[in-house]
Amino acid sequence: MKNNRQNGTHYQHSIGHWKYSVLIAAAVWAAPAAVLAADQGTNAPAGEIEKKAEKGPPLPLHQIEGNGGIFSTLSAYIVNPPRDGEVVGRPAAGFAYVNLGHGQDLYALTVTESPWKRLELGFGYNNLNLGDLPTDILKATGVQISDQSVGLYNGNARLQLLAENEFRQKWIPALTFGTHFKFNDTYGTINHELGGALAQIGVTHNTDVDFTLYASKLLTFLPRPVLVELGGRATRGVWNGLLGFTPDYQFLFEGNIGVFITDNFILAAEYKQQASDYQPINGLIGKASDWWTIDAAYIVNKHLTVAAGYGHFGTVLNHEANGVWGITTKYEF
């Protein structure tokens, strides 16, 4: 993969009921020998004849919120940026599924478009089936909630501030800043039917904006290429916003590491902190735990990547979601 992938742009804090669409479940990303090839194209000495850029591997993957990344964490590389001679980049579409157990599963539909080499626009729709939570709520409160699933819409804009090896400095990582608008289309109904219970525990609204900053660096001095990606997120979202949003931002760590076993097969691991500044409801809404996953991705061809992963998500809604599995795929045009 390669060619300093880039992201960026920002979103405004939106009010009312404005929807987006696309995103859920997934697993891996990143860049091998293509990163090296891209280096030579982007940082070629003045006067050097540049060859027509070929399409690199379809990496990074789509992360479930509709950004370049792995399953739940991001990459500082841009998805499918313009090649030499193209006015704008080409779109990419993805799908992800995670089985959380107890009838609860997560689907994600994602799409990205990179109009310039340093800008990535993404859209993701997430649908979380509530499983037996409505039944447990009915037993505990006598209230029958009308929704059996939660829809979360994500609109993303990411700008790559630094390209990898910028200024011909081999130690410089790719650095990307992102803004992520989120709208939960189910929060209002569930909170109303529960008599404001979600607001009472500190989950107070249905829209918000996350901010991320990620650095990515491909290490090539080891026996096989190793990709390290570290980032931070300012968020008020509980379970990425699938429950809703709290009043105050928390600043959380995220990151992943991937090893290119071959040029087409990647093993990766990721870690993502989750916001937990709300009061749980015993037996119904648990305390959010940090997420980690182990993933394997295979590059089928220059357009298609598939991945599978094992995840540990702690408590999600009314159950533990540990030892879960998921699949993800992405196609670049």
| Beta strand segments in 163-281, E | 174-184, 207-219, 226-238, 244-260, 265-272
What was the pLDDT predicted at 221? Answer: 95
Report the amino acid identity of residue 79: V
| Separation in Å, CA 12 to CA 37, 55, 179, 180, 209 | 37, 33, 9, 9, 8
What was the pLDDT predicted at 56? Answer: 82
Span 220-245, pLDDT tens digits: 999 999 999 999 999 999 999 999 99
* Helices assigned H by DSSP within the chain: 33-42, 133-141, 187-193, 197-200
Tell me whether residue 110 is in a domain.
yes
Joined tokens for residue 45: 């000495």
What number of residues does the chain have? Answer: 333
What was the pLDDT predicted at 53? Answer: 61
CB-facing half-sphere around the CA of 163: CA atoms within 13 A: 21
What was the pLDDT predicted at 84? Answer: 80
> Which of the residue ranges 26-35, 59-68, 170-179 would you say has the lowest mean pLDDT?
26-35
Tell me whether residue 16 is in a domain.
no
Contact residues for 48 (Cβ-Cβ < 8 A; gap 6+)? none
* Residue recorded with tokens 């660096």: 217
Tell me whether residue 10 is in a domain.
no
Tell me whether residue 11 is in a domain.
no
Span 63-79, pLDDT tens digits: 999 999 999 999 999 99
Tell me whether residue 39 is in a domain.
yes
Q: CA torsion angle for 255, 27, 101, 312 (degrees, to 10)?
A: -30
Query: Residue 280: pLDDT above 50?
Result: yes
CA distance 128 to 147: 11
DSSP β-ladder status, 119-129 and 149-162:
antiparallel
User: CB-based burial of residue 167 (10 Å sphere; 0-12 exposed, 13-18 middle, 19+ buried)?
Assistant: exposed
Instruction: Output the average pLDDT for the chain.
Output: 86
> Which of the residue ranges 35-44, 160-169, 171-180 would you say has the lowest mean pLDDT?
35-44
Contact 175, 161 (CB under 8 A): yes
pLDDT (average), residues 318-332: 96
Joined tokens for residue 315: 């408590």
| Separation in Å, CA 233 to CA 54, 153, 173 | 33, 18, 18
DSSP string, 57-116: ---SEEETTTEEESSSSB-SSPSSPPPTT-SSPPPEEEEEEEEEETTEEEEEEEEEEEEE
Contact 275, 288 (CB under 8 A): yes
CA distance 287 to 202: 12
Tell me whether residue 3 is in a domain.
no
Tell me how many domains the chain contains.
Answer: 1
Tell me whether residue 260 is in a domain.
yes
CA distance 254 to 249: 15
Is the pLDDT higher at 281 or at 47?
281
**Residue span of the structural domain in which 177 resides:** 33-332
Contact residues for 274 (Cβ-Cβ < 8 A; gap 6+)? 238, 239, 252, 288, 289, 290, 291, 314
Contact 157, 118 (CB under 8 A): no
Query: Residue 142: pLDDT above 90?
Result: yes
| Separation in Å, CA 57 to CA 89, 98, 100, 149, 218 | 14, 24, 30, 35, 15
Q: With left for phi above 0 and alpha for psi between -120 and 50, is residue 308 left, alpha or beta?
A: beta
Tell me whether residue 17 is in a domain.
no
- Kindly report the backbone phi and psi dihedral angles of residue 38, in degrees, each rounded to the nearest multiple of 5, phi listed first: -65, -35
What was the pLDDT predicted at 50? Answer: 41
> Residue 99 is part of a domain; what is its CATH number?
2.40.160.40
Query: Residue 263: pLDDT above 90?
Result: yes
Span 95-119, pLDDT tens digits: 999 999 999 999 999 999 999 999 9
- Kindly report the backbone phi and psi dihedral angles of residue 287, in degrees, each rounded to the nearest multiple of 5, phi listed first: -85, 130
